[in-house]
Structure 1
Amino acid sequence: MRGLGDHLTIGERIAFYRKRRGYTQEVPAGLVGRSTDWLAKAESGRRRPPRVDMLAELARVLRVPLGDLLGQSVLLEDDNQLDDVPAVVMR
């Protein structure tokens, strides 16, 4: 999401990448074993952001780096494996 700014919430980033892929909420929700209602609430901010492990699954399904959903860069090793995952602050 480079260039879109850092003002978006995690839920708004999930929605952005989901729509960019042309997915309805049912598709990624089903692929990570959650309901459409759960994803709708996560995207709209009516529930806490998903845990990091669920964000990693959503990132995999949406085919984006985890750091893009978090709004931060994720450090990569030379072999393109995730090296470090930034902390998520729950407010």
Structure 2
Amino acid sequence: MDISQNIKFYRKQKGYTQVDLAKLLNVKATAVSAWESGRNKPLMDKVTMMANIFSINISQLVGDTFEVNDITPVYNKLDTNRKKNVYLYAVNQLDEQNNILVFPSKTKNQVSVYGAVSAGNGEYLSDNKPDLVDYDGEIPIHDFAVIVNGDSMEPTFADKQIIFVKKTKEVRNGQFVIADYDHQAYVKKFMRDENGCRLVSLNKKYNDMPINDEHELSIFGVVVL
């Protein structure tokens, strides 16, 4: 907040009316009203008095309000040693301003992405040249990467997330796999239990995909991240 808002805030916090504060400062109530509305600004001696009345620091009262001329009355009231400290600090600030260091932005990693796999209702995995895609995170050892398309594997894999895959035909129960199921590519969880083998979505609005003689299945690999 700026000084106009702060005067009003701390005045009310103390339980003073504008008239009460005006009497304490030996000014007219219209002056306090002008300060609180932002039409005028109090002189530094009145700022100091209000800070004492409100039992706060001057900086708390001044807030975000700052103009070049504001520093002069304060500086003039300092003793010689403190004026020297202000001068040395100002010189240091000027040196920093004139020697701003600009650090180069961190180079993003790029990943070769071979199309998308469905986390929904089916997707065709690309056999073409991969696209280079920026990636901010740590890249694990992998054979290829794909983009998730859909929400069937949320919350583990989000829509448009890049996932990394190790090529393999060997799959353990419970692993996340990239699979071709009836000629469409999916990311799913492989499950084998008393109910048989199937590809499972984490989002329960999607049905399991049974693995049997009625469906064609081939495994591209398992997800490593």
TM range (shorter): 0.5 to 0.7
CA distance in 1, matches of 2:54, 2:21: 7
Aligned to 1:19: 12
Provide the aligned length of Structure 1 versus Structure 2: 68
Q: Percent identity?
A: 31
Query: Are the equivalent residues in 2 in contact too, given 1:28–1:62 (CA < 8 A)?
Result: no
Equivalent runs, 1:21-36 vs 2, <5 Å: 21-36=14-29
State the superposition RMSD in angstroms. Answer: 1.9
CA distance in 1, matches of 2:18, 2:53: 12
**Counterpart pick for 2:60 among 47, 68, 74:** 68
Deviation at 1:13, TM superposition (A): 0.4
Query: Are the equivalent residues in 2 in contact too, given 1:32–1:57 (CA < 8 A)?
Result: yes
Aligned to 1:52: 44
Could you list the per-position Cα deviations for residues 30-56 of structure 1 after superposition, in whole angstroms to 9, with x for gaps in the alignment?
111101110001111112x11221100
Bigger relative contact order, structure 1 or 2 (CA pairs below 8 A, ≥6 apart) = 1
Runs of at least 5 residues in structure 2 that lack an aligned partner in the other structure: 70-225
Aligned to 2:31: 38
**Most deviating of 32-41 and 59-68:** 59-68
SS in 1 for 2:42: coil
Query: Are the equivalent residues in 2 in contact too, given 1:10–1:69 (CA < 8 A)?
Result: yes
**Runs ≥4 residues deviating over 3 A:** none
Deviation at 1:64, TM superposition (A): 1.5
- What code does the residue aligned with 2:55 have? R
Q: Which structure shows the higher strand fraction?
A: 2
CA distance in 1, matches of 2:23, 2:11: 13
Query: What TM-score do the two structures reach when normalised by structure 1?
Result: 0.66
